[in-house]
Amino acid sequence: MNVEDQMQTTSRIRVLIVDDSALVRQTLTDVLSSDPEIEVIGTACDPFAAAEKISQQVPDVITLDIEMPRMDGLTFLQKIMAQHPIPVVICSSLAEEGAQSALKALEYGAVEIIAKPRVGCKQFLEEAQITLCQAVKGAAKARVRPRNHHMVEPKLTADSVLAPATGAMIETTEKIVAIGASTGGTEALKVFLEALPADCAGMVIVQHMPELFTRAFARRLDSLCQISVKEAEPNDTVLRGRALIAPGNHHMLLKRSGARYFVDIKEGPLVCRHRPSVDVLFRSAARYAGQNAVGVIMTGMGDDGANGMLEMKQAGAFTIAQDEDTCVVFGMPNEAIKRNAVDRVLPLPAIARAVIAYAR
């Protein structure tokens, strides 16, 4: 192996696959190995075998199943985060029970959830290659924080929460808040939504997450927040005190009929490597809400939402990006900032206050 090949090998993202199914391990290996930026350094059938592999070579990212023999994935994840934090991507089957466990995994420190590729479904495998590789790359860049970490709320100034004074809003309709998030977004959205009062402006949210997981995620948030949170359905009205979360594997668009805002749920191709896509939501908000909208882009890998946020700003919306210090991955917000699409860059604990102040 020459020097150039050695440099390429060492710069690859090293992945350990942990799953009790030999077929799944082989499928994930084939999918990940197809990306030249990723190297599968090993597989393990259970956490005990995985621990042995890690003792020999520490991976950059672990893909982890939840239901396994001898030790379940959640217990293993807790041990990893306590002893040697490593970015973990949960690879789970599309089942309601799996969705609930996967959400617990996010609380315990996992950075992403992906659906297990369905063997034999060509389209699913092709899309899985995009989403799985994207998830691993995002995890490799994630700031893994111990679960006993408590974010210290920064001191806020009046300037940090108030919208710019330029221009005048036309007070013709209710304000609408459109939010996009990806890697690390589940916990960021929890912090944000829990801080909102019951009468806050209506919200539409895209969080990159597989189908069924978004339903469980919405139910979890609904039980924790003062506002109502639900997985969006076609023609749902955007109401004060309610947040609608785009269903996994479907795009969500904001529409307007007279003074009523509602959502449209669509199938279609991946946009910016995602379905649902933040760009799709933001562009519809720019078109139908314009200067009556507030756009928020949170932690996540890639650039989904950056162009859509620019369209929102150009349409007169007030736009906010989460700052680098509080992001798990400063990808999506940074891309929006680079495009000059952002009015305010704020730490996560300040975003809710800014939204409340501006929406009033």
Catalytic residue numbers read 182, 208, 304
Three-state secondary structure call for residue 246: coil
CB 15 within 8 A of CB 35: no
Three-state secondary structure call for residue 260: strand
**CA angle, 285 as apex, 279 and 288 as ends, to 5°?**
140
Lay out the sheet containing 61-64: strands in order across.
38-44, 13-18, 61-64, 88-92, 112-115
CB 297 within 8 A of CB 306: yes
Report the distance separating Cα 44 and Cα 215, nearest Å: 30
Neighbour-count burial of 75, counting CB atoms closer than 10 A to its CB (0-12 exposed, 13-18 middle, 19+ buried): middle
Report the distance separating Cα 152 and Cα 290, nearest Å: 34
